A and B are shown apart, each in its own frame.
Chain A
Amino acid sequence: MVTDLRKCVTCHACTVACSAEWGVPAGQGRTHVRTTPLAGTFPDLMSSPMVEQCNHCEHPPCLEACPSGATFKDVAGVVQVDKDVCIGCGFCVDACPYDARFIHSLNRKVDKCDFCAPRRARGEQPACVATCTAHAKYFGDLEDRDSDVYRMVFRDGARRMETHSVAVGPNVFYLGKPEHLDLALTNFPPHPPRLLTAGQTLQKVVRPLLIGMVAATFLGQAIAFFAQIRKGEEEHDD
């Protein structure tokens, strides 16, 4: 995805369209629109818009942080969350250098942009791209030399929002005047992934997991026991 910050007017069409499309409660969001504080003094001023969402990074720290395996990268390189598997622990939320993830206040699962996977499956553009009033958002295949995004990234110089210390290969690129992009990056830099310490891991993951496993084992045995009673002993190849 490429966002052309020269055109963006921070109108929030993308954030509202996204939330409406995916039932994200008011006050939360998969995309965020901000404006940097002004740089300079009157009348020599500068500011830049910034539109943020999941960057679908080459090396996503969220994926490493996920204890349940709910976060995965699909064949197209899109980072996705399997809601059925997510336990809502929030480790990935802390790990994301771009604060692109959140715990959905209604279903308590982690939520984030998936580049509108179901819309793309129908051949539609992501909701934010389709609605963008300034025509500032582009989605496409970076390997397709005829695509807008290819042109913007490889010819027009669209840039990744990453720093020397945090470079995880974000796949949302930004077009803009260099001084504006610098300003945006200075004000809204990615933070180093906040990964768990061993103690926290024990406290927050291992213990609940153990309890869960014990319970599940017990449950599984009970189910197997009753299943056997009902079915009799038949093929058993699990």
Chain B
Amino acid sequence: MAQKISRRRFLGTAVTAGVAAATAPVAARAAVHPPGWTGTERVAKIATTCEMCFWRCGVLASVVDGKVLRIEGNPNHPQNQGRLCARGNAGTGLLYDPDRLKTPLLRTGTRGEGAFRPVSWDEAFDFLADKLKKLAHEHGPESVAFFPHGNGARSFSTLMRAYGTPNSAEPSFAQCRGPREVGYSLTYGRALGSPEPVDLEESRLIVLIGSHLGENVFTSQVTAFGTALERGAKLITVDPRFSTAASKSDWWLPIKPGTDLALLLAWMNVLIAERLYDREYLEAYASGFDQLVKHVKDFTPEWAETITEIPAARIRETARAMGAARPAVVVHPGRHVTWYGDDTQRARAMAILTALLGSYGRRGGIFLPTAVKTGSFELPEFPEPKRGRADGAGERFPLAPEELGVTNGLVDATLSGQPYPIKAWIVYGQNVLESIPQPARTIEAIGKLDLMVVVDVMPVEQIKYADLVLPEATYLERYDAPTVVTTAKRPFIAVRMPASEPLHDSKPGWWIAREMAKRLDLLAWFPWETPEQHLAKVVEPSGVNLRELIATGAVSFPGRPYLEDRPPEQRTFDTPSGKIELFSKELADLGADPLPRYTAHPEPPGGFARLIYGRAPVHSFARSQNNEVLNALMSENEVWLHTATAHAWGVTGGQSIVLENVEGIRSEPVLVKVTEGIRRDCAYLVHGFGSRAKGMRRAFGKGASDNSLMSRVSVDPLTGGTGMRVNFVRAAKA
């Protein structure tokens, strides 16, 4: 033994000299870890909230000498309990991305050229304040539109309301979950919210119809999904593509796209015909059952088979599985639901199916939110805008809530000048060329503006159309308004706090908004000086010890997730009838179908396939492709084609092709993936690639942008949601 050790020592000495020269530059490149770091010398762990996506997991940032070395899941956080996805673990890749926006930029060239000069914050604010004052004077404050996204946008929202514009719209509504929230609201009197309150871990059967959970990674939801599978829950996955979830399913139903409503109606038909529904639950809580019975009588599995291309026997079998497992069935409501323009009706069908199974408010189904007491500063009344909203929320789109707005409605108004001209856009935390379909229209609309301002961390494509670009600090360098989550079985309050000083000349969003308020004489709406004061005020009524909250990152409270947790008089629903409304009089009054109905949607013309799209677990929207770590895992997307489709198109796996849609719009080159795991009538892309932002050097020009191929939308007349699965593509001739 002694001999062995001495041999090791000897070899060690012999090679040290030679390696020393090679390792010297290494220390500088690998500065993420100090030399000799072994993972034991952690100095400070800051508890904060992730923003690599919008799920808001709790993280711990390990900081040594002001440098964030490592981000891990926060074990004290009630939501993710220490677990964290690839993106969350790669957070330092955003913080230290060399391509970040570093200073305010003022445009010098023409719009679209991308020529800027760096300016000081003072000059930037002078420019912006001057423009905003002029716009208010000449066109009224309503001529300024705001496109926010995420927690960080709150201070800007306050600023915009104080300035006097009602025109604010988030893509999370009209490009994402808007129709779902409206459909469930019509049925249960309450939107589902985020995170969606699905009781996966207690479920006996999970139905994914419009969810590719697993590729779409919401950490806590994936954990619950895994727990359910381990406990033996059955899984039905409805997807034209053999998704990760499909590969784990007991039943994979590769449905013909656009026909989900027929399947949902046929499932209801079987549940009712075979008396598998929850009669007691419906008698206690629901109204409109008789109308529903009559409505679905003819929607048999045989009827649905011809539409959905799913065998009637499979439809019966899966409906019976639901009937057997109820009420512990999660019919997952999905998240991005703007597909075909009748999406509110599809959401209604899912809500009604959930009610037939007695699953809403029940263990293993959809659980109920629990309120959390929060406080706020008393603010002066916001000025009443002289003109109403320009996006049609509440009017042209009667069920779009005014708090969230309709992004595409603002694009429409900017293009048409109706109901009045929109002269400025302020964009925060999203890339309107990737988040809103029909990007050519969006660019055309930007061309009509007097002012375009972008607040972002990265030089995303849209900045080249901006007059002013403001570099925001990342989530690891700033405070945001605290996160208050009510749709958890234990509701909680969590904080986002800086783990690092803002790098370069970036600034936190709250600071930018407050400084602007100063220059516009709107400081009365910002009666706090520091974000700590704001935080203290918000959490005050909850009785939470602020120190504890800051130390642990989150504090949770007892919840009442099930109907059985509440006294009978509280088991009511906030609908006009106080009951679950299977039949919706509200919809009937609007001239819409009071019970959901299947309508056929246009099919791909010969030689084309329907463009469908989704997520990869290592990327968020178009936000993460430049992150060194995540880019190394997936630097570009592929277009999935069925073997027969690839053959028909004359393309082979690994070949680079250009996609072309019916209007002749072409994509960037993209590699072909030939697979049996997709229907012949579909082509699938992961969203967020094909960046045309030259300043994002790793992401630039990699893969194809699905959004650039979406020159058609089918707009939901109830919500304004943009149905985006109505575009068809083929391989372009070289």
Contact = CB atoms under 8 A, between A and B. Distances in A.
Interface stretch (A15-23, A194-202, A227-235): A15-23
A116 B72 CA distance: 14
Given A13-B89, A69-B8, A23 B252 contact: no
Given A9-B213, A107-B23, 20 more contacts: A7-B226, A7-B229, A9-B222, A11-B86, A11-B222, A11-B618, A12-B633, A13-B85, A15-B633, A16-B89, A16-B630, A17-B89, A20-B92, A38-B676, A42-B254, A43-B252, A48-B247, A49-B244, A87-B11, A118-B40
B109 to A, nearest CB: 34
Contacts of A10: 214, 244, 617
Contacts of B85: 11, 13, 133
A107 B14 contact: no
24 contacts: A9-B244, A9-B617, A12-B86, A13-B84, A13-B86, A13-B88, A13-B89, A15-B633, A16-B90, A16-B618, A16-B629, A21-B39, A38-B242, A38-B676, A42-B679, A43-B242, A43-B254, A46-B247, A48-B247, A108-B22, A116-B39, A134-B226, A135-B226, A215-B14
A180 B219 CA distance: 24
Interface of A: 4, 6-7, 9-13, 15-17, 19-23, 25-27, 35, 38, 40-43, 45-49, 68-70, 82, 84-85, 87-88, 106-108, 116, 118-119, 121-122, 127, 130-136, 212-213, 215-216
Nearest to A85: B8
Given A17-B84, A17-B89, A136 B37 contact: no
A213 B10 CA distance: 9
Contacts of A108: 19, 22-23
A132 B11 contact: no
Interface string B33-73: 10001111000000000000000000000000000001111
B227 interface: yes
A28 to B, nearest CB: 9
Nearest to A46: B247
A169 B247 CA distance: 29
A21 B70 contact: yes
B129 interface: no
A118 B39 contact: yes
Interface string B179-207: 00000000000000000000000000000
Interface stretch (B24-32, B166-174, B373-381): B24-32
Going nearest first, the 10 A-B pairs with the smallest beta carbon separation are: A9-B214, A7-B226, A134-B226, A26-B632, A11-B617, A12-B86, A16-B89, A212-B14, A16-B86, A133-B222
A134 B223 contact: yes
Nearest to B93: A26
A22 B244 CA distance: 29
Contact of A6 (B217, B230, B242, B678): B230
B648 interface: no
B26 A106 contact: yes
Interface string B74-87: 01000000111111
Contacts of B26: 106-107
Given A23-B30, A69-B4, A45 B676 contact: yes
User: Chain A interface secondary structure, helix, strand, loop or mixed?
Assistant: loop
Nearest to A131: B84
B225 interface: yes
Contact of A41 (B70, B83, B676): B676
A38 B631 CA distance: 25
Contacts of B537: none
Contacts of B223: 133-135
Contacts of A132: 83
A153 B30 CA distance: 39
Contacts of A42: 242, 254, 642, 676-679
Interface in B669-690: 675-679
Range of interface residues on B (Cβ < 8 Å): 35 or more
Contacts, number: 177
Contacts of B75: 130
Given A7-B226, A46-B247, A12 B73 contact: no
Contacts of A26: 628-629, 631-632
B570 interface: no
A90 to B, nearest CB: 14
Contact of A23 (B4, B7, B33, B227): B33
Interface of B: 4, 7-8, 10-15, 19, 22-23, 26, 29-30, 32-33, 37-40, 70-73, 75, 82-90, 92, 213-215, 217, 219, 222-223, 225-227, 229-230, 242, 244-248, 252, 254, 617-618, 628-633, 642, 675-679
A11 B7 contact: no
Contacts of B246: 45
A133 B252 contact: no
Contacts of B90: 16, 20
Nearest to A36: B247
A44 B168 CA distance: 47
B253 to A, nearest CB: 9
A38 B643 CA distance: 12
A188 B511 CA distance: 53
A105 to B, nearest CB: 9
A170 B38 CA distance: 26
A16 B630 CA distance: 8
A84 B65 CA distance: 27
A130 B14 contact: no
A102 B381 CA distance: 64
A12 B83 contact: no
Given A6-B230, A17-B89, A130 B72 contact: yes
A70 B8 contact: yes
B247 A20 contact: no
B675 A38 contact: yes
A32 to B, nearest CB: 11
Contacts of B214: 9-11, 134
A212 B18 CA distance: 11
A35 B677 CA distance: 13
A210 to B, nearest CB: 11
Contacts of B39: 21-22, 116, 118-119
A118 B225 CA distance: 31
Contact of A118 (B12, B32, B38, B248): B38
Given A17-B72, A136-B226, A27 B12 contact: no
A9 B217 contact: yes
A82 B40 CA distance: 17
B71 A122 contact: no
Residue with the greatest number of chain B CB neighbours at <10 A, chosen from A11, A41, A88: A11
A12 B618 contact: yes
A20 B675 CA distance: 33
A19 B92 CA distance: 12
Contacts of B14: 212-213, 215-216
B217 A133 contact: yes
Contacts of B13: 216
A69 B7 contact: yes
